[in-house]
Amino acid sequence: MEFWSNELKVESRELSVYDVAMIDEAPPSLKPSIKPRLASGTASPMIAVRALAKRIGQQEILRGIDLEVATGETLAIIGRSGGGKSVLLKHLVGLMEPDTGEIWIQGQNIIGMNERQLGMIRQKVGILFQGGALFDSMTVEENIAFPLHEAGERNPDILRAKVNEMLEVMEMEGQEDKMPESLSGGMKKRVGLARSIIRRPSCVLYDEPTSGLDPVVADSINRLIRRLQRRFGMTSVVVTHDMKSAFDVADRIVYLHEGRIYFNGTASQLQQSTDPLIQDFLLGRSEGRSD
Amino acid sequence: MVRLFNALGAPLLAFFQYLGELVLLTTDTFRSIFTHNLRWKLFLNQIVEVGLLSQLVVVITGGFTGAVFSAQTFFQFNKLGMGSAVGAVVSVALCRELAPVLTALMVAGRVGAAMSAEIGTMKVTEQIDALRALAVYPVDYLVVPRALAMMLSMPLLVAECIAVGIAAGYFVAIFMLDINGTYYMANMVRWTRSRDIIMGLSKAFCFGILIVFISCHKGLTTREGAVGVGRATTEAVVNASLAVLICNFFLTMMFNIIYPAGYQ
């Protein structure tokens, strides 16, 4: 890991008086299972995380995460802002280095790999950043074609054909000459997603794919995630605090609370849960307390 | 006592860490230059940014420095009846000190600031993380083209600055101060040696390296949004300028051993 990649951006959250009273340990029924069910049953997981811990400054962001994502599965990671969701996601592609723990991608432990070795892993795992993270000096077409161009593809006809195919999947035909600054938030996310998947990674990580979007655009992004899963069989990990998005796209939902996995199960199990913390989150209540 | 050590130690450690990071970035970049393919389009873009777009700044810097140095030297030398030696003084001073240092300071302000601001903005808007996530090593993509462009452009810019400075000095001396042109040129050619030019161009190469790595490092380590970008840009210019001035002294002492000054 390089010196310039060590310093990190953390979502910070003011601690409220309610945080003091938060339950530290989840009830046994809600504790994460070390070996979650795998969609394929026998195949090795696409992603396996073991005892992952990360501290940034004085703040403990992740406190021993154990998680597996099966090949072809769509996992949603939900939780409150500042709960460590985005930090966990960035660890999965080696954009951040944990203090302790292991991360296995398709059977390869990525901890200790240098940036160049991680390049091989990153070709298998794409990531959609919260704001799209488009290169602002490039057009939409150049942004989408960037991974292919970097992989050595120089034929303009092939590049254009693949970009057009991606734009069609994203329902953004005719936008290829626009600059990122002239795109709306939803369009930026779709272009960012097109760029992430143009090389057909086995897995895509989505960091808040619907945040800041109106419900209609958010729904189009959710449909897109499902379509990609069906069309290309991609494994997906979606970090979100948009419950509609999580219920729409996920095969399994993990609730991250104070750096730990508090719940690990299906959408219906989550909805049926009577745990007050989960109920508060689902209903958008401030810890179930009234003023 | 412990407080004293803490007060002194922390900034000292931070300084050594900063130097270490600069060395790491430099070695990483040179390793990449020799082991990975160059992105020619980015390199040529940077040549335009560093070299072509610095023309006006360098011409004005060189021209007016040569002109004022010629005039000031004449005012002093003329009292001693050495007016025709002005050409030699202007030429040697421009080659050995003035052109490399002033060009480096101008390039640090113009190009160094732009580099740290551009890379810093990419850093805070997650574009560098996006590069990494797309399996592109940021040093290969961002630093190598800039470093190569700077290493190639700086000696050429300094050579241009020297030439323009000498021409401006000549113009002022001959047409405004009425120095004899033949003696002026003869003295200048006699006292200006190829080693003076080599020294100036070598310094330019070294300053180019200092500016590009200090600026890129500041960009790559930017944090805290727009404020951070502003701070990184300022620090890049200040640090690069100070580094140029400090290293200039040591380079002068070192090059003076290899290329001694004066007529021999």
Residue B63 in tokens? 């021209």
pLDDT band of A168, cuts 50, 70, 90? confident
Q: What is the DSSP letter of A40?
A: S
Is the distance from CB of A71 to CB of A43 less than 8 angstroms?
yes
Q: What is the mean pLDDT of residues A189-204?
A: 88
Measured CA to CA in angstroms, residue B19 lies from A158, A215, B209, B245 at distances of: 45, 50, 14, 17
Q: What is the ipTM of this complex?
A: 0.78
Low-confidence stretches of chain B (pLDDT < 50) are: none
The answer for residues whose C-beta is within 8 angstroms of residue A160's C-beta and 6 or more apart is A141, A145
Chain A's closest residue to B23, CA to CA, is: A3
Give the residue among B64, B96, B53 at the shortest CA–CA distance from B167.
Answer: B64
Residue A136 in tokens? 């602002």
Q: Are strands A203-207 and A235-239 parallel, antiparallel or unpaired?
A: parallel
Our CA dihedral for B8, B14, B15, B20, rounded to 10 degrees, sits at 140
Percent of chain A with pLDDT over 70: 84
The pLDDT value recorded for residue B209 is: 96
- Tell me if B135 and A119 make a contact (CB, 8 A cut-off): yes
- Give B 8-27 residues with CB within 8 A of chain A: 21, 24-25
B132 touching chain A per CB within 8 A: yes
Crossing angle for the helix pair A185-197 and A215-232, to the nearest 10 degrees = 10
- Tell me if B133 and A120 make a contact (CB, 8 A cut-off): no
The pLDDT value recorded for residue B178 is: 86
The pLDDT value recorded for residue B158 is: 96
Interface test with B, best of A1, A2, A114, A120 (most B CBs within 10 A): A2
Query: Which SS3 state, helix, strand or coil, does residue A75 take?
Result: strand
- Give A 248-277 residues with CB within 8 A of chain B: none
The answer for residues whose C-beta is within 8 angstroms of residue A112's C-beta and 6 or more apart is none
Q: Report the residue from B24, B125, B137 with minimal CB separation from A131.
A: B125
Measured CA to CA in angstroms, residue A36 lies from A106, A236, A247, A260, A264 at distances of: 16, 16, 18, 16, 8
The pLDDT value recorded for residue A171 is: 80
CA of A289 vs chain B CAs: smallest distance (Å): 34
B135 touching chain A per CB within 8 A: yes
- Tell me if B134 and A90 make a contact (CB, 8 A cut-off): no
- Give A 63-102 residues with CB within 8 A of chain B: 90, 93-95
Residue A208 gets the label, from left (phi > 0), alpha (psi -120 to 50) or beta, of left
> Which H helix or E strand runs over A60?
strand A59-69
Give the residue among A145, A138, A178, A183 at the shortest CA–CA distance from A161.
Answer: A145
Q: How many CB atoms lie within 10 A of CB A22?
A: 12
Tell whether the model's pLDDT for residue A32 goes beyond 50: no
The tally of CA atoms less than 13 A away on the side-chain side of residue A141 is 14
- Tell me if B134 and A146 make a contact (CB, 8 A cut-off): yes
Count chain A–chain B contacts defined by CB atoms under 8 A. Answer: 70
Our CA dihedral for A225, A228, A231, A234, rounded to 10 degrees, sits at -110
Q: What would the 3-class secondary structure string for B58-97 be?
A: HHHHHHHHHHHHHHHHHHHHHHHCCHHHHHHHHHHHHHHH
- Tell me the C-alpha distance between A124 and B63, whole Å: 56
Crossing angle for the helix pair B2-35 and B194-220, to the nearest 10 degrees = 110
The per-residue pLDDT of chain A, averaged, comes to 80
Give the residue among B65, B69, B67, B58 at the shortest CA–CA distance from B108.
Answer: B58
Give the residue among A181, A177, A202 at the shortest CA–CA distance from A92.
Answer: A202
B129 touching chain A per CB within 8 A: yes
Q: Report the residue from B127, B221, B223 with minimal CB separation from A135.
A: B127
Write b or e for each residue in B55-78: b if 16 or more Cβ atoms lie within 10 A of its Cβ, otherwise e. Answer: eebbbebbbebbbebbbebbeebe
- Tell me the C-alpha distance between A117 and A115, whole Å: 6
Q: Return the minimum-mean-pLDDT range out of A77-86, A278-287, B171-180.
A: A278-287
pLDDT band of A33, cuts 50, 70, 90? very low
Q: For the sheet containing A125-128, what is the strand order?
A: A125-128, A203-207, A235-239, A74-79, A252-257, A260-265
- Tell me if B217 and A131 make a contact (CB, 8 A cut-off): no
Q: Are strands A100-105 and A203-207 parallel, antiparallel or unpaired?
A: unpaired
Question: Which chain B residues are within 8 Å of A134, Cβ to Cβ?
Answer: 127, 130
- Tell me if B133 and A196 make a contact (CB, 8 A cut-off): yes
The pLDDT value recorded for residue A287 is: 56
Give the residue among A118, A95, A97, A103 at the shortest CA–CA distance from A65.
Answer: A103
- Give B 217-236 residues with CB within 8 A of chain A: 217, 220-221, 223
CA of B44 vs chain A CAs: smallest distance (Å): 16
CA of B248 vs chain A CAs: smallest distance (Å): 28
A127 touching chain B per CB within 8 A: yes
- Tell me the C-alpha distance between B199 and A116, whole Å: 38
Percent of chain A with pLDDT over 90: 14
Give residue-wise pLDDT tens across range B70-98: 999 999 888 888 888 898 999 999 999 99
The pLDDT value recorded for residue B94 is: 94
Q: What would the 3-class secondary structure string for B178-242 be?
A: CCCHHHHHHHHHHHCCHHHHHHHHHHHHHHHHHHHHHHHHHHHCCCCHHHHHHHHHHHHHHHHHH
Is the distance from CB of B42 to CB of B145 less than 8 angstroms?
yes
Question: Which chain A residues are within 8 Å of B133, Cβ to Cβ?
Answer: 93, 95, 122, 126-127, 129, 196
CATH class of A39-283: alpha beta
In chain A, where the domains are located: 39-283
- Tell me if B130 and A95 make a contact (CB, 8 A cut-off): no
Residue B197 in tokens? 């030019």
Give the residue among A273, A153, B57 at the shortest CA–CA distance from A144.
Answer: A153
- The residue with tokens 């009292």 is B79
Interface test with B, best of A3, A136, A206, A237 (most B CBs within 10 A): A3
- Tell me the C-alpha distance between A288 and A279, whole Å: 8
The per-residue pLDDT of chain B, averaged, comes to 91
